[in-house]
Chain A
Amino acid sequence: MGIRTLVAMLVTALVVIGALATQESYKVFMPGLLQGAVLTIEIAILGSLLAIVMGVLAALARMYGPAPLRWLATVYVEIFRGTSALVQLFWLFFVLPQFGVTLDAFLVAVLALGLNVGAYGSEVVRGAIQSVARGQWEASTALNMSRPQMLRRIILPQAFVAMIPPWGNLFIELLKSTALVSLITLSDLAFKAQQMNQNTFKTIPIFTLVLLMYLAMSLVVTIGMRLLERRASLGLARGKAA
């Protein structure tokens, strides 16, 4: 979809939310839902940051690390890609305390989602680094650059552009996964919706508002990533790679 359509959808979603919020039957739910949305956004942002860190570290460890580190990174990626996000969330929340590590629910949420998406992200980073043309590596070697120098100055800036669209998709996945944290007692947007639904049985207004709010948040991420992509590919001959 073009960026204009996406902006139009975002504006429509916001206008509809605004219009519904003026209605008496919807108005009562707004403060609670907005409160939940703030927590959702917090978890999404912190989770994304952790995902980026883990993705880059795991990819670099798998590609250039010494054998034990490479092995560790592979196990990490396989475990977190191979099991469900919800299983990971519950495992950290229910099982870890039995090993004597009790984490606060918010921390569990950020850790589980960040580690989960980071595992997928490491494959994105790896793919993007490998998509940089061979000649770039050879030229860096010819210029007698060390490996860290090569990565930092030549390879990563180019790989970065190729990484943006798939990371955009992963951020959306992460944002949507934040709904799972409602199942470990955090009062995010999904939790508030569930709670209000149980109290009032006004299912349609509540869930319509919640779906629109998630839609608006996802669209903000999509549009932001498109703009970032446009910005980052300025001055690069190869626009959209991989």
Chain B
Amino acid sequence: MIWDWAFAFEILPVLARAAIVSIEATLIGFALAASLGLVLAVVRIAVPWTGWTISVLVELIRSTPLLIQIFFLYFVFPKFGVVLDAFTAGVLAIGIHYAAYCSEVYRAGFDNIHRGQWEASVALNLSAWTTFRDIIIPQAIPPIVPALGNYLVALFKETPLLSAIAVLELMQTAKIIGSETFRYTEPMTLVGLFFLAMSLVSAALIRSLEGLLNRRTMR
């Protein structure tokens, strides 16, 4: 018997609990990525001399594997006396990694704002802060929401990497079940199906969101 339904149903609740950890990691990681990315993109515009440094930093983060970055944060922080538990270190690494990607998305959004908007804000004597908050960001963010959504899905699919530092998320739980029972077929396949289902659902959500946003901006 290659596929055992009884076993599959038996491990389903355990995997469901682990899935919650995966989703938590995704949401916290993405919140970090989205806000840190925005900060990077705004600083780049507000303080022009940082542009080069930020580009190099983004390139560095994007050119090296996330797995190594996770290990790096997990093992290096204790050297400086900061002991992070695996979940925190992992989510931090994922958040920083995707912040680099998100900052490029925001930058594209800002680049699409017409020059006249900046000039008008200057002419109206708006402060830099007000210009960003009330003029630029409300126009720049909606068009890039779908792109950010794609990174949310990509980030979600990276969470199994946390199993490498023994965070008890979906993959790690499946691996433990596998090594205890010597049955890998059901846990691994269920994990795969879970990711597939989540990805398909979120892809559909992003598509409908895109349609909604297009309608709003077309007016």
- Which A residues form the contact surface with B (CB < 8 A)? 1, 5, 9, 78-79, 81-88, 90-91, 94-95, 98-99, 172, 176-180, 182-183, 190, 193-194, 197, 203-204, 207, 210-211, 214-215, 218-219, 222
B191 to chain A, nearest CB (A): 6
**B56, closest chain A residue (CB):** A9
Main secondary structure on chain A at its contact with chain B? helix
Rank and list the top 9 A-B pairs by shortest CB-CB distance, nearest first.
Answer: A218-B63, A179-B65, A94-B184, A82-B199, A82-B196, A176-B65, A179-B67, A84-B157, A86-B160
Cα A98 to Cα B161 with chains together (Å): 24
- Which B residues form the contact surface with A (CB < 8 A)? 2, 55-56, 59-60, 62-69, 71-72, 75-76, 79, 157-161, 163-164, 171, 174-175, 178, 183-185, 188-189, 191-192, 195-196, 199-200
A193–B68 touching, CB < 8 Å:
yes
**Which residues on A sit within 8 Å (CB–CB) of B195?**
82-84, 87
B188–A215 touching, CB < 8 Å:
no
B63–A91 touching, CB < 8 Å:
no
Question: B59, B63, B75, B188: which contacts A214 (Cβ < 8 A)?
Answer: B63
**Which residues on B sit within 8 Å (CB–CB) of A177?**
65
Main secondary structure on chain B at its contact with chain A? helix
Cα A215 to Cα B163 with chains together (Å): 24
**A81, closest chain B residue (CB):** B199
A193–B188 touching, CB < 8 Å:
no
**B196, closest chain A residue (CB):** A82
**Which residues on B sit within 8 Å (CB–CB) of A90?**
171, 174-175, 184, 188
**A207, closest chain B residue (CB):** B72
Question: B60, B72, B171: which contacts A86 (Cβ < 8 A)?
Answer: B171
A83–B192 touching, CB < 8 Å:
yes
Cα A24 to Cα B188 with chains together (Å): 44
Q: A81-B199, A179-B68 are in contact. List 19 more A-B contacts (CB 8 A).
A: A5-B55, A9-B56, A79-B196, A82-B199, A82-B200, A83-B195, A83-B196, A86-B163, A88-B192, A91-B189, A172-B63, A176-B64, A177-B65, A178-B65, A180-B67, A203-B72, A207-B71, A215-B60, A218-B63
